């Protein structure tokens, strides 16, 4: 069967129109003519008859087997337009349009945080990312996504898996680049005993890891894993949210700063460990609100130890169950809001009843962003512009900052 790819799905699969509906073909691009065997709604054993002008040679040698990246076969220009289209399409679904600023994309080999799958084997350990649509682990020693410091941590991670991994179950290792060494969090490892804890501590020391957290328990702390946010240094709790790349974080911060302008009093909602609150405190008073107490504690400590910041206050509060009320925004010049993928439906509705003149909305989900944008616009705000940030290179994931004002 021969088909022509018409568009891409939300996970990057090519979609063609068949006699009974959509046909999905992975790794394809719009305009490509593909021939293969129809199996249900997928084309199997396919080959490209006519390639797209946007098709390029994948920059990574692992691209054919690894499922960590899905768009390495497409040109950078195509991926940028596609990601802009994802956000535009989400807004259009709510009947909205916007002015878009040029997309900002993180460079290759810049991911400073990743979750690695691993299994103990007869000869040692197998680590990497899952193959596409599979639980098979693919070794990725030449990964073009990860920062070199993360690749350099692989021997130490392998040593951890050899000690505490299983040959029957998978171990998950979340490794984060910090100023003081890799911050490693392991789940699915063997149950801790004193002997294992001692050996894990020795590996942590030998490989220069800053911290090792094992099945939720910190078992070794060589030095606090520090992150810099403006003038402040923060040691996030294990597993705390951190932007995927330093370049992506800088792009988001630059866009947020542009959105709020000369605001002197800012409320930062879903503040995390201070990604925005602490740099913005160099020029404005900031009230940071976050649902996780460990993160607000880390943020406050970072603010207290930094020099040259304006007043920073923190509040631990579940903004889904108890959003800030209109009177709590009295005197606030701008709100920065960076919710998780679910968005901030309840808090956005309250904001429409406030007197806040400017909102910098940060989102990692175009669908919930568009839903919340419709709420703000219906409540009297204007969507001034949208800045798309691609820090999850070669994936379908999109980040953005949008400015709302009234």
In which residue are the tokens 């409320």 written? Answer: 267
Give ranges for CATH 3.40.50.150 in the chain: 79-107+242-405
Residue 349: C-alpha distances to residues 153, 250, 320, 380, 381 (Å): 45, 29, 12, 11, 12
The confidence score (pLDDT) of residue 78 equals 97
- Tens of pLDDT, residue by residue over 115-143, are 999 999 998 999 999 998 888 999 999 99
Give the global pTM: 0.95
Per-residue tokens: 289: 């609100």
pLDDT of residue 19: 87
Are 34 and 24 in contact, with CB atoms under 8 Å apart? Answer: no
Query: CA dist 390 to 50, 93, 215, Å?
Result: 29, 21, 31
Helices (H) and strands (E) in the chain, counts: 9, 22
SS3 266: strand
Main-chain phi, psi angles of 196, to 5 degrees: -65, -40
In the chain, CATH 2.40.50.140 sits at 2-55
Alpha-helix runs per DSSP H in 104-238: 148-152, 154-164, 194-206
d(CA 5, CA 27): 11
To the query of whether residue 143 is one of the catalytic residues in this protein, the response is no
So what's the pLDDT on residue 127?
95
Spell out the residues 6+ positions from residue 95 whose beta carbon is closer than 8 angstroms to its own.
374
CA distance 272 to 227: 13
What is the model's pLDDT at position 132?
85
* Separation CA 88–CA 96 (nearest Å): 8
Buried b (16+ CB within 10 A) or exposed e, 278-311: bbbbebbbbbbbbbbeebbebbbbbbeebeebee
Asked if residues 73 and 63 have their Cβ atoms less than 8 Å apart, the reply is yes
Residues of the chain with CATH 2.40.50.1070: 113-227
CATH domain 2-55 topology: OB fold (Dihydrolipoamide Acetyltransferase, E2P) (2.40.50)
Angle of the 194-206 helix axis to the 154-164 helix axis, nearest 10: 170
- What values do phi and psi take at 81, rounded to 5? -65, -40
Burial call 45-56: b when 16+ CB within 10 Å, e when fewer: ebebeeebebbe
Q: Are strands 312-316 and 285-290 parallel, antiparallel or unpaired?
A: parallel
Q: Which CATH number fits domain 79-107+242-405: 3.40.50.150, 3.90.220.20, 1.10.287.3510, 3.40.50.300?
A: 3.40.50.150
Q: Which residue out of 66, 69, 143, 364 is catalytically annotated?
A: 364
Distance separating alpha carbons of residues 261 and 381, to the nearest angstrom: 17
Q: What is the pLDDT of residue 379?
A: 97
CATH assignment, 113-227:
2.40.50.1070
Question: Look-up: residue for tokens 């179950």?
Answer: 169
d(CA 176, CA 28) in angstroms, rounded, equals 32
Per-residue confidence of the chain (406 residues) as pLDDT tens digits?
999 999 999 889 999 998 889 999 999 999 999 999 999 999 999 999 999 999 999 999 999 999 999 999 999 999 999 999 999 999 999 999 999 999 999 999 999 999 999 999 998 999 999 998 888 999 999 999 999 999 999 999 999 999 999 888 999 999 999 999 999 999 999 999 999 999 999 999 999 999 999 999 999 999 999 999 999 999 999 999 999 999 999 999 999 999 999 999 999 999 999 999 999 999 999 999 999 999 999 999 999 999 999 999 999 999 999 999 999 999 999 999 999 999 999 999 999 999 999 999 999 999 999 999 999 999 999 999 999 999 999 999 999 999 999 9
* pLDDT in the model for residue 281: 98
């Amino acid at each position: 069967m021969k088909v022509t790819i018409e568009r891409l799905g939300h996970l990057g699969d090519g979609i063609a129109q068949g006699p009974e509906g959509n046909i999905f073909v992975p790794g394809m691009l719009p305009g490509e003519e593909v021939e293969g065997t129809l199996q249900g709604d997928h084309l199997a054993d396919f080959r490209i008859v006519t390639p797209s002008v946007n098709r390029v040679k994948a920059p990574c040698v692992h691209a054919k087997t690894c499922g960590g990246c899905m768009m390495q076969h497409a040109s950078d220009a195509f991926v940028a337009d596609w990601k802009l289209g994802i956000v535009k399409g989400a807004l259009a679904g709510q009947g909205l349009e916007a002015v878009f600023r040029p997309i900002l994309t993180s460079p290759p080999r810049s991911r400073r945080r990743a979750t690695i799958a691993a299994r103990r084997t007869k000869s040692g350990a197998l680590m990497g990312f899952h193959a596409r649509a599979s639980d098979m682990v693919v070794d990725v020693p030449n990964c073009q996504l990860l920062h070199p410091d993360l690749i350099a941590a692989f021997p130490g991670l392998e040593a951890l898996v050899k000690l505490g991994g299983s040959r029957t179950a998978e171990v998950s290792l979340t490794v984060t680049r910090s100023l003081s060494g890799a911050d490693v969090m392991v789940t699915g490892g063997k149950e801790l005993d004193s002997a294992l804890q001692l050996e894990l501590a020795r590996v942590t020391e030998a490989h220069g890891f800053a911290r090792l957290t094992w099945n939720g328990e910190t078992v070794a702390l060589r030095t606090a894993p520090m992150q810099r946010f403006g003038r402040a240094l923060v040691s996030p709790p294990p597993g705390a949210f951190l932007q995927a790349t330093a370049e992506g974080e800088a792009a988001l911060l630059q866009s947020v700063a542009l959105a709020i302008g000369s605001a002197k009093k800012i409320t930062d909602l879903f503040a995390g460990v201070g990604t925005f609150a602490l740099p913005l405190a160099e020029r404005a008073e900031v009230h940071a609100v976050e649902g996780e107490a460990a993160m607000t504690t880390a943020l406050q400590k970072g603010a207290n130890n930094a020099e040259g910041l304006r007043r920073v206050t923190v509040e631990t509060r579940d903004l889904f169950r108890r959003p800030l009320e209109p009177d709590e925004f009295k005197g606030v010049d701008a709100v920065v809001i960076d919710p998780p993928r679910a968005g901030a439906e309840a808090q956005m509705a309250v904001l429409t009843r406030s007197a806040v003149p400017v909102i910098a909305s940060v989102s990692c989900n175009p669908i919930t962003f568009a839903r919340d944008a419709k709420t703000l616009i219906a409540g009297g705000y204007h969507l001034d512009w949208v800045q798309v940030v691609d820090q999850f290179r070669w994936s379908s994931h999109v980040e953005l900052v949008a400015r709302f004002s009234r």
